[in-house]
Every structure is written in structure tokens, then in C-alpha cells.
Structure 1
Amino acid sequence: MLKEQNEIRIGPADMKAIPHPGVELRQMLEDRGWSQTDLVFVLGCHPKSVNQIINEKQGVSPAMSKALGEAFGLAPGHFSELQRAFDLASADEPDPSVLLRAQMQKNYPIREMVKRGWIQDGDADSLGKQLARFFDVRDAANVPYLAHSAKKTSYEERAIPPVQLAWLFRVKQIARAIAVPKYSERRLLDAVSKLREMLAAPEEARHVPKILGECGVRFVVVESLPSSKIDGVCFWLDENSPVIGMSLRFDRIDNFWFVLRHEIEHALQGHGRGDPEGMIDAELQGDQAGTGSSVPEEERIANAAASDFCVPRQKMDSFIARKNPFFYEKDVLAFAKLNNLHPALPVGQIQHATGRFDYLKKYQVKIRQFVLPGTIADGWGQSPALAMEI
């Protein structure tokens, strides 16, 4: 005998009206003129099993659903569907913040942001207010990349990855809390020469925040978020207030000085003035560190300045031309000493030129331990207390 393939579909308006499967079972018994005892006989089960369902004190198990389907000529899953619909209708409504958390987590590493103290976990209203404050918008409906955004933002139109955007806004928050004198391009140019004298010893990096601050440049270090691949940024709080942010995701002396000088050049050139996100630099270690035609003009300028700062371009090119393809360690060390450089800086240039990124890697010492103590930083277990935080 073919059994009816009854499928139960539920809409939101029906949820509160879904009855217990026992209601339909009572009606079926009445239609057939069966008593509970008759059904117990047909099913060959304990009387309590049927009585509990009919009196709506027990749900219908998958095995009982199959048995009832056989008894009444219905699909095996008919009563299971009734039970599923009833359970769903009877369940408590989820906290409204679940939807907001899902929308947030879809794009932003929210758990990491909560862990880092950028926002605090809470109900939907609290999360919405905190996100709006974090992203400097009027309300949560305008937070970039959230599914319920009222309109597209300039960040989305320019395809800035949301994880990089979150990092950028944290840098902005911290930068606003830093007091510096009026920005002077002349002082920043002079500072470049002063910084150039510090390239031989890793510990000299501790002076960077103070030197930049005296030029009117706010220097901020924020640990990168997972998968952001961001190295640094240069942006302007206003037309004459530059900010340099770094992630230190590569904890190496050569990378630190290259990225720092790269961002300084953006500031000196006025790159990013008027743009809310400024100049975001991601993956400078890769193709973007080049000077080819595929690299934007502003990045080529900054890369050239950074490269020449770390190792004078003419001297480095001459050394590579003379020694290629055999770069002996003693020659590299002698070159570094002659030019008052830490060995990691020419090593980094040689690695990039040859594509051998394992070459003399032992000289690429860590530098974060020297940078953080004198810097307003966020990450690695520390978070500055800002007045704007809840």
C-alpha cells in the first residue's frame, strides 16, 4: 500500500499555533473509532507509551513515528515532523543579539575584538552602540560591512577588507588620545637623518615614538588581527595631523625599519590626505615592496625611500653586482659595518633581490621588545584604556 507523503511546512505566523502531536493522534483514534487500548494492541507497546503522547506529556520518538505511520498508513516521518514543528514552536526565542553577533562575525573577528578589549560582549543594543562608537558612525545600521547596513560605505565601495578596517579604526582611536605638537614637515625630514643613525643596534628603536612625536606625528602600534596581513598605515586625523600605525606582524629589525620609513615617506609626500583610510599597506613583504609598473605610484615612491633608507640603493646595487651569485657571510658583515648598519638590513635586501628568503636569516633579530615599552600600543596582552571605551 502506498503511504501518503505528508510534508509539514511552517511559517513564522504559524509558530505559536502548532499543537502537540498528541492532538492529531487523539483525532485519528476518534475518526477510526479506536480506543487507546486498541492502539496499544496494534502497536504492541506498553500502554504508558501511548497514554503519555495522547495526554501531551511525552514527545514522539523516531521509532514511535515509524510505528504510528504503519498503523495509520502515513509516511514514517509524519509524526516526527509534527513533533519537530511543535518543539520548534515551543522553544524560547533566541536573544536578539544572536543575529547581530552573526552579522558581525561574518566579516569581523568579533571574538578577538572582545578579547582585546576593543568592544565588550553584551546584548544587541549594547553591541550596536559599541560598534557604532568604534566605527565612528551614528548608529549600528551604518557600520561598514554589516548585512543590515542602511547603505554602502566608501570603505565597501573601495573594497577595503573589513578585518583591515577594524585594525585601522583601533589605530585611529588610540591616535586621537595622543597629544603631540603641531606637525612640522621640516622636523620630520630632519628626523629621518636622526633615525638613519640608529640602524646598527636593535635597541635604538625605542627612541622612535619620541622622535616622531616631537615632529607632530602620532605613532601607534596595534597587533594585527588574524588574516589581516596588514603591515602599516599612514593617515591624517585632519589636514595637518599625520598618524603612522604599525602592526609589527613580522618581528624583525629589517622589516620594522622598512615599514616605518615607508610610512614616513607617505606622510612627507602628503599621501592619503583627505582619505578616511589613508594609505593602508598590506603585505609589504611581497609584491607590494617592489617598484614595478603594477605597483601604484605612491607605493613606488614610498618603497624606494624605504629601501634607500635601510641600505643606500647605489651601495647595495654595487655590492650585489660585485658579489653575485656568491654572497659570503663575512662580506655581508663587513658591508654592514662599513655602512653603520645592522647585518639584517643588507641581508633583507639581498633576500629580496635573489628570492632566497632563508639566506642568513639568523641575523634578522626580533625588535618588538625594544619598540613596545616606549610606545602606546595595543596587543600582545596589553590594551590602552581610552575614554571612548564603554
Structure 2
Amino acid sequence: MTIASCLIDVPHPGEFIREELDARGWSQRDLAYILGVPEQAVNLITSGKRGISPEMAKALGKAFDVSADYFANLQQAYEMANARAPDPAVERRAKLQNAFPIREMIKRGWLADTDIGLLEAQVMRFFCKNDLADVPHMAHAAKKADYSETSPFQLAWLFRVRQIAAEMVAPVYSAAKLRALVADLPRYMKHAEEIRHMPRLLAECGVRFVIVETLPKANIDGVCFWLDDNAPVVGLTTRHDRIDNFWFVLRHELEHVLNGDGRGELNGEQIDVDLEAAGGRDDLPPAERKANAAAQDCCVPATELESFYTRKYPYIAEKDVIGFAGRLGRHPGIVVGQLQRRMDRYDWLTRHKVKVRQFLMGNSVVDGWGDVAPVSL
């Protein structure tokens, strides 16, 4: 079928007007007089050189005593029939964007902005699959707000962490070394800058430590998963750039590693709520309750916190908090974070909850905040 034959499938509205004029015995000059327009305006429409505007559709409706929609619909049908078919890439790009945050992934440098065929190939390599419709969930333990399912944004973030971790070189994982490090964590919790040692210390235990800026709507704080039985990965977003949040999330994920959560499972997801939403919820999975308890006890031992709170509440002075933190060997911001949770007062002494991402940027594998981790796709 030729292009010319396609164009006559739906006639131009001018043909209907000519037929109506013949039926009524009117000339084009008669119609122009009735409409109050120049004769040339009518001729352009009846000859198919000009379309019918909404205003003209209303005028023709009055002239021929029919609905204005009649002429408007004739014009729309003609235009739709003769509109050029869209680039097939439009539909394919829409399917990609509907499934994954493609535009954001391109913006972050995870994918190159290429033609649709190469883009689809990149997406398949990114998710380690040969079919766009066959992207599984990884076995992981992640701190995020929603337990119902892993969203496309969350899944893309997880695979980015996996992609980076897969290219990192680390010794075989040693549970004994990690347990020793976890026991020694308080040594690094008094001064914010001591956080800079964590990437190196975790690597010595065989734990791949990655920081990837979160994607919009992902709401993930951290994740733990395994590349294989001897290669655990801990990924953080540091979306809450505070000393108390860093230590809580890190210790939470390390508890998942020590417990082997998600190890060797294809879809064994262990998903956690974020720090602020966790609170005292008792409907969390056992693995999450255990990880939360370990993280809270690491930040401030439960017995010590209870004793201090019982003695000082409701009149807890700032100097008492600083003294308590000094006795425990903790940064005041860590203690403030635990007390804020206990009192449900997240505006209290916030100046002590210092930012810490700066101490990680030069010592960790980081992807985000303008930097793209150098990995191959």
C-alpha cells in the first residue's frame, strides 16, 4: 500500500462540506456570506488546503444546524489518519522507563544515553540478564521503609551496589575477624573523624564496603547481600548524613553479615525499615529485630541508657549528656540520637548530630554526589 492510498482512507472534512453545499444548493460564496468570512477561507477548507479550527467548527455547526462536534471530529479523524507514525523507539523507551528509573540512571552515569538498541543492551547487562522482562530480586538484607516489595528504584540501587562490589578486590571473608572488629567498634565512636578507618577495617575482614547515593523514592539506608558464600557486601547511602545514623545503620548491616542473612538465597530478602520509622515496632521479622537490637546496643548499651534515662528524665541537661557520652566513650551525637528516639523528640540537641559523609568520601568506594564509580558495564 502506498502513502497516497493511505491518505485517502479518511477524507478531508472539506469533502463533507462540498457534499452538504450540493445538497442544499448553496455555493461557496453563499456559505462565506452566511459565515461572515471571505470566500477564500471557505475555498481553502473545501479544497483540503486548510483544516477546520474549533471556532470554524462552531460556526459551521450553526450554519448547517448540526453539532459543532461533528466537524471537530471530522477534522480530528483526518489529522489522526494522516499523522506520521512515531519512532518505534518511543514505545521501547517508555517500557524501559516504566520498568526502571532509566532517566535517573543515565543522569547518574550508570547507563550511557545512546540509541534504544544499545540502551536496552546496557539495561540487560546492568541487571545481569539477557531479557528485559527477566530481572530477579537479589538476596539481600536492606534497611528501607517499605516491606511489601522492592521497587524499581530500590532494585536499580541494589544492582548498582552489586555491580561496584563485584569489581572490588577483597580477601576471603573471616567471620572471626569481623566479630573482633564489631567488638572493637566503640573505640572508633568517640570522634567523628575516626569513621574514616571503617572502609579499610571492613576490607581486612573480607567485607566489601560501598557507598552509593540513594535514588529518588528509594528510601534505602543500607543493604547487606552476598556475591557468594565468602564475599559479603555492605552498601550504605548515608542519606541521613548524621553520626548517629551512620553507626546505627552500619552496625545493623554488620549484624546481618554475622548472622549470614540472605546468604546463598536467590530471593531471600531481609528488608528493614529506616532508622526514623523503626521505633519500637514489634511486627518486624526476627532478623530485623535482632539487627536493630544489636545496633542500638552498640550505639549506647541498653542497660546504660535505661539507667541514665531513669535517673535524669524528664530534666536531661546538655552537660549530663556530654558527660554520659564521655564516660561511655561515644560521641555526644550518638547518645543524643538514642535519647531522641526514646523521648520521641527529634528536635532536641540536634547540633551534636554532626555530618560524617565527608570522612568517608576519600577513603571509600563512592558513587554519587557528582562522582561515578569507575566500573565497566
TM-score over 0.5 for the pair: yes
1:191 CA displacement? 1.6
2:140 aligns with none
Match status 1:55 vs 2:47? yes
1:297 CA displacement? 0.7
DSSP 3-state at the match of 2:221: strand
- Cα 1:136–1:15 change in 2 (3 A) is farther
1:108 CA displacement? 4.0
DSSP 3-state at the match of 1:337: helix
Match of 1:39 among 23, 31, 41: 31
Which consecutive unaligned segments of at least 5 residues does structure 2 have? 1-5, 138-146
Match of 1:263 among 253, 261, 268: 253
Question: Counterparts of 1:307 and 1:15 in 2: how far apart (Å)?
Answer: 72
Match of 1:279 among 270, 274, 278: 270
Match of 2:196 among 184, 206, 218: 206
DSSP 3-state at the match of 1:245: strand
Kindly indicate whether the alpha-carbon contact (under 8 Å) linking 1:233 and 1:281 is maintained by their aligned counterparts in 2: no
Question: Counterparts of 1:202 and 1:107 in 2: how far apart (Å)?
Answer: 40
- Cα 1:362–1:387 change in 2 (3 A) is same
Letter of the 1:113 counterpart: M
What is the RMSD computed on CA atoms of the aligned residues?
2.3
1:250 aligns with 240
- Cα 1:196–1:276 change in 2 (3 A) is farther
Question: Counterparts of 1:280 and 1:175 in 2: how far apart (Å)?
Answer: 20
Greater relative contact order: 1 or 2 (C-alpha under 8 angstroms, separation 6 or more)? 2
What is the TM-score normalised by the length of structure 2? 0.89
Structure 1 runs (4+) greater than 6 angstroms displaced = none
Question: Counterparts of 1:47 and 1:351 in 2: how far apart (Å)?
Answer: 80
Question: Counterparts of 1:365 and 1:248 in 2: how far apart (Å)?
Answer: 13
Match status 1:186 vs 2:170? no
Question: Counterparts of 1:303 and 1:121 in 2: how far apart (Å)?
Answer: 40
**What does 1:56-205 correspond to in 2, within 5 Å?**
56-106=48-98, 108-143=100-135, 159-205=149-195
Question: Counterparts of 2:309 and 2:53 in 1: how far apart (Å)?
Answer: 77
1:280-337 residue CA offsets vs partner (Å, 9 max, x unmatched): 43412222x54x5312110111111111111222222211122122211111111111
1:107 CA displacement? 5.7
Q: Indicate the percent of aligned positions where both proteins have the same amino acid.
A: 48
Kindly indicate whether the alpha-carbon contact (under 8 Å) linking 2:211 and 2:238 is maintained by their aligned counterparts in 1: yes
Question: Counterparts of 2:153 and 2:72 in 1: how far apart (Å)?
Answer: 43
1:185 CA displacement? 0.5
Match of 1:330 among 301, 304, 319: 319
1:246 CA displacement? 0.6
Kindly indicate whether the alpha-carbon contact (under 8 Å) linking 1:183 and 1:242 is maintained by their aligned counterparts in 2: yes
Match status 1:310 vs 2:299? yes
Match of 1:371 among 352, 360, 365: 360
Match of 2:336 among 337, 341, 347: 347
Question: Counterparts of 1:190 and 1:15 in 2: how far apart (Å)?
Answer: 78
Kindly indicate whether the alpha-carbon contact (under 8 Å) linking 1:229 and 1:282 is maintained by their aligned counterparts in 2: no
Question: Counterparts of 1:16 and 1:283 in 2: how far apart (Å)?
Answer: 61
1:165-204 residue CA offsets vs partner (Å, 9 max, x unmatched): 1211111111111111111111111221343211011111
Aligned length: 362
Question: Counterparts of 2:8 and 2:336 in 1: how far apart (Å)?
Answer: 70
Which consecutive unaligned segments of at least 5 residues does structure 1 have? 1-13, 146-156
Question: Counterparts of 1:16 and 1:208 in 2: how far apart (Å)?
Answer: 72
DSSP 3-state at the match of 1:40: helix
1:20 aligns with 12
1:15 CA displacement? 8.6
